[in-house]
Amino acid sequence: MLDLGWLVGFLEGEGCFCLRRQPYPKKKQLPTLRPEVSMTSTDFELSERAARILGELGFPHFVSVEKKGQKNFKPQLCIHLVGIKRCQKFLPFIIPYMTDSRRKRAAELLLEFCNYRLSLPSNTPYTEKEWGYRVKLSDLNGGRYAQNLRDLMWSAGNKPVEDKVQPLVKAKE
């Protein structure tokens, strides 16, 4: 139980709950949304402990080393728990122990997305509702989209899908 509490604390401090846009440039397919829970830190010892605990709890994940930014930035150890079924299994396990309201809301929203998508037939096209989850999660994670939902919904030909979506943010006059 102590390790689970430590993992939740690490996740609340270094974690991210997101929906990644998965493009299919070579296939003539529309992009999909890929649920992901990730934890990133330059302190490899802490990241390795989080990965060990995830493994002991039976949650499949992968670990990568990334070096983003300028030359003098430290490398980061990233832990990724990716996929709709993996996230649907993991999120209800940790949400009851979370305390930070913004991160907890992000986890709950990602779980809501997973449950909703899994209730639909597998080849159901994404709707404005699903792309809206991505925008809300980005806001909860500290990102800001200053664009239309339409801009997120690229077709296989890299042209925006035509629709009648209102702007999320009013343009400055």
Look at residue 131 and tell me if it is in a domain: yes
**pLDDT tens profile 7-39:** 999 999 899 999 998 877 666 677 889 999 999
**pLDDT tens profile 47-58:** 999 999 999 999
For the segment 59-78, the average pLDDT, to the nearest whole number, is: 83
What CATH number is associated with residue 93?
3.10.28.10
What is the tally of structural domains in the chain?
1
Look at residue 69 and tell me if it is in a domain: yes
Q: Can you say whether the dihedral through the CA atoms of 69, 42, 83, 113 is positive or negative?
A: negative
Look at residue 95 and tell me if it is in a domain: yes
Match 């829970």 to its residue by tokens.
37
Distance CA 17, CA 119 (A): 20
Prediction pTM value = 0.77
User: What is residue 78's DSSP assignment?
Assistant: E
**pLDDT tens profile 73-125:** 888 889 999 999 999 999 999 999 998 778 999 999 999 999 999 999 988 88
Look at residue 159 and tell me if it is in a domain: no
Look at residue 50 and tell me if it is in a domain: yes
Look at residue 13 and tell me if it is in a domain: yes
Look at residue 173 and tell me if it is in a domain: no
Q: Which helix (H) or strand (E) holds 4?
A: helix 2-14
Look at residue 171 and tell me if it is in a domain: no
Give the model's pLDDT for residue 101: 73
Residue 123 domain boundaries:
2-152
